Amino acid sequence: MSMIELFLIAVGLSMDAFAVSVCKGLSVRKLEWKHALLAGLYFGGFQALMPLTGWLLGVRFEVYIESVDHWVAFVLLSVIGAGMIRESRGDEEEQNDDFGVRTMLLLAVATSIDALAVGVTFAFLKVRILPACGLIGATTFILSAAGTYAGSVFGSRYKSRAELAGGVILILIGLKILLEHLGLVQFPF
């Protein structure tokens, strides 16, 4: 998997956290730097840990499904992407200005579950997991911190677009993996 693909996956996975960060930024009356830092640390940290956890699970079961790993990658990325697209069309979520440990942990876990499934996919694709987790975590940290500021400035009008873009990116990467493995197409990246 190329660095471009990993970066696109990192951006796609970050979109849920970005959208929630926008809402968190929107919810506070006076945004402080610690709000953006907390959002970045929680969301970036969990987005880095979940693929590692998924990868560890995937490595254990790799021998059982190696012959269909490309289908697993395609299905997982498509399901995650479709879920993000569906969420982008849903009702607006209630705003919560709490940046406490419990709230942020729950949000971080909720926004990183899809990264767990991507980690399983990484095991099948023989992705170097530590650099991938680092890139996903750093990308999510930056986008979440920026999203918190964007939310305080622009409001929630970009939330659904971010989720939609993330979903489309993940589906397209899943399709690329499948088409390349089947030998139907060879992409330059």
Chain segment 129-181, per-residue pLDDT in tens: 999 999 999 999 999 999 998 888 875 566 677 667 767 877 887 788 788 77
- Cα 157 from chain centroid (whole Å): 20
Cα four-point dihedral sign 61, 63, 68, 74: positive
- How is residue 81 written in tokens? 């992407």
Q: How many CB atoms lie within 10 A of CB 49?
A: 18
Q: What is the pLDDT of residue 156?
A: 53
Amino acid symbol at 83: G
Inform me whether the pLDDT recorded for 67 exceeds 90: no
pTM over 0.85: no
Angle between helices 3-27 and 69-88 (to 10 degrees): 30
* Strand, coil or helix: 126: coil
In a domain, 186, yes or no: no
In a domain, 164, yes or no: yes
Domain that holds residue 20: 3-181
d(CA 155, CA 60): 44
Q: What is the pLDDT of residue 70?
A: 73
d(CA 16, CA 111): 6
In a domain, 150, yes or no: yes
| % of the chain residues with pLDDT over 70 | 87
| % of the chain residues with pLDDT over 90 | 28
Instruction: Write down the H helix ranges in 89-128.
Output: 101-124
Distances (CA, A) of 106 to 48, 72, 112, 179: 16, 27, 10, 36
Inform me whether the pLDDT recorded for 47 exceeds 90: yes
Mean pLDDT of the region 14-26: 83
The predicted-structure confidence for 91-108, as pLDDT tens digits, reads as follows 655 555 678 888 888 888
Given a contact cutoff of 8 angstroms between Cβ atoms, the answer to whether 13 and 136 are in contact is yes
Mean pLDDT of the region 43-70: 85
Domain total of the chain:
1
